[in-house]
Structure 1
Amino acid sequence: MPNKTPPLPGQAMTDRFRLLVDAVQDYGIFMLDTAGNVASWNTGAQRIKQYQADEIIGRHFSTFYPPEAVAAGWPDE
């Protein structure tokens, strides 16, 4: 039986994907921009890492490393 649901326009598909990702609570899902800064943050990431979205979005991902690892350059590897 063929799929009779019309395809979603681009923005509607993006919105649905965002809702799906945000609903995931057992896995932390986030995106980084090209500079390595957190660009998105889901509820799973919030639960696991204990950062609210407004606390972490815009911060560099090296935040997730202990200071000695940052000093050793691990985030840059």
Structure 2
Amino acid sequence: METTLDRISESEMVTVTSVDITGKIKHRFTVMGIVRGSRVTLEKVAPLGDPLKVRVRGHPLSIRREEASRIRVRRD
């Protein structure tokens, strides 16, 4: 089942299917490892809902909710 990264539950692990972001942010995500086929775990949501703390390839990252809404993922 496909959804976006901002809609998954804490502790859930998903696989990235597409990243609908352009420009410098897309390059930053590529460098961080957020690319098609990457496994991502949502570790924590900030108290006010933004940002999201995720783990990609063993590294913790913070992503804005708006950016996460443009990352399509598949639940396994």
Larger Rg: 1
TM-score range normalised by the length of the shorter chain:
under 0.3
Which of the pair has the greater relative contact order for Cα pairs under 8 Å at 6+ separation? 2
More strand by share: 2
TM-score w.r.t. the length of structure 1 is 0.27
